Structure 1
Amino acid sequence: MHELEPYYNWRDYYVASEDKLSPFYNREYSEFYFDKTVYNYYIHPQWDFFGSNTLYLKVLFADYTAGYGIIEFIGEWNDCINNDIMLLKREVLEDMMAEGINKFILIGENVLNFHGSDDSYYEEWYQEVEDGWIALINFREHVLQEMVSNNLDYYLNLGGELDELGWRTLKPMQLFKKVDNMMTKRLGM
């Protein structure tokens, strides 16, 4: 797992640690000191810690004018024990929403498991994005099934075309436009 880096081909467009509006502004990274783990396996030091001991992320892109953010995840999403959604919402998402982000693209191909609890933070987040949306792309099938069994599909857009999106071949704005078009069709906006 230590070789799985956050997607880095968009670094010419955006770096969260250099963005004064980012919750990760001025964060420093080591290429050699591995201090974060998932299931006792070290992960690449470029992933960002936000309070969870099992789930890490990287804000790959944020456009405050267009109002969207793209976040990649790695690890186990565990609301049952760690309340990861509360930590994510309080430590990252609220800061982004305060700066005008109301459309979120969450990339989950490296999310290994999901353990749900109650849906109150998802409901709160859903209500706070108002005219925006939350789209999950490329999450594993068993993770999506757990999310659906916890009724999170009421708040999160998942499945269908979002499960097979070749996002790495796109630039951030291209990915946003593609997902935004899907959300416009789904939500009848």
Structure 2
Amino acid sequence: MHDLIPYENWLKYYKPEDDERSPFYGKTYNFDLYTDNIYGYYIDPAWDYIGSDTLYAKLLYVDYERSTCIIEFIGEWNDAITNDSMHLKRNVIDPLINEGINKFLLIGENVFNFHGDDDSYYEEWFDDIEDGWICAVGFHEHVYQEWKNYGIDSYIDFGGSLELINWRTFKPAMLMERISREFSKRLGL
């Protein structure tokens, strides 16, 4: 797992540690020392701790003018034991919403499992972003299936034309524009 790193090609557009409005503002990264781990497997120091021992994230891009952000994840999304949705909502999502972000793209190629429990934090998140949306890309099919089993697909949209496996070929603003257009089509706007 230590070889799995957050997407780096957008660092020229955005660095959360340099953004005063980011929940990760001021963080310093020591790439000579691996300290964080998930179930005993060390992860790259570029991943950010969100309050959960099983799920880490990287804020890849934020555009405050367009109210958008892109977040990549690694680990096991475990709501049943470690209440990861609560940690994510309180420590990352709420600060971003307070800064006007209401469109969220979640990238989950490195999320290996999902263990559901209650959907209340997803519902709260959805209610907090009235005119926005939450979209997931790249999660494994069994994670999407578990989301469906727990009703999370009522709050997070994924699949079909939103499943852009080539998301890395876009610049971040262009990717968010593409996702926004897909939501407009789905909503008939």
- Whether TM-score is above 0.5 comes out as yes
Match of 1:49 in 2: 49
- Tell me whether 70-79 or 158-167 shows the greater mean CA deviation: 158-167
Q: How far 1:146 sits from its partner (Å)?
A: 0.4
**Which residue does 1:80 correspond to in 2?**
80
Where does residue 157 of structure 2 map in the other structure? Answer: 157
Match of 1:117 in 2: 117
Q: Distance in 2 between matches of 1:149 and 1:159?
A: 15
Moved more, 33-42 or 137-146: 33-42
Q: How does 1:91-102 map to 2 (within 5 A)?
A: 91-102=91-102
Structure 2 CA distance for aligned equivalents of residues 161 and 2 of structure 1 = 32
- Contact persistence 1:138–1:162 (CA under 8 A): no
Matched AA of 1:161: S
Query: In 1, Cα distance between the equivalents of 2:9 and 2:79?
Result: 30
Aligned 8 A contact 1:139 1:163 in 2: no
Give the corresponding residue for 2:106. Answer: 106
Residue 188 (structure 1) shift? 2.8
CA deviations on 1:48-78 (whole Å, 9 max, x unpaired) are 0010000000000000110000000000000
TM-score computed with the length of structure 2 as normaliser: 0.98
Query: Residue 177 of structure 1 aligns with which residue?
Result: 177
Distance in 1 separating the partners of 2:106 and 2:187: 18
Aligned length: 189
Deviations 1:148-180 (A, max 9, x none): 110111111011123343111110111001111
Moved beyond 2 Å, runs of 4+: 161-165
Letter in 2 for 1:156: I
Whole-angstrom CA distance in 2 between matches of 1:115 and 1:146: 7
The letter for the 1-side match of 2:101 is I
Q: Percent identity?
A: 52
Residue 81 of structure 2 corresponds to residue 68 of structure 1: no
**Paired residue type of 2:32:** F
Cα distance in 1 for partners of 2:6, 2:89 equals 20
Match for 1:44: what amino acid?
D
Supply the distance in 2 between the matched residues of 1:164 and 1:170 (Cα, whole angstroms). 10
**Which structure 2 residue ranges, 5 or more long, are not aligned?**
none
Contact 1:33 1:45 (C-alpha < 8 Å) held by counterparts: yes
Give 1:168's aligned residue.
168
Deviation at 1:31, TM superposition (A): 0.7
Please state how far the C-alpha of 1:187 moved relative to its aligned partner: 2.5
Match of 2:33? 33
Structure 1 unaligned segments of length 5 or more: list them: none
TM-score after normalising by structure 1: 0.98
**In the alignment, residue 2 of structure 1 is paired with which amino acid?**
H
Pairing 1:136–2:136 present: yes
1:40 CA displacement = 1.4
Q: Matched residue of 2:74: which SS?
A: strand
RMSD over aligned CA atoms reads: 0.8
1:188 maps to what in 2? 188
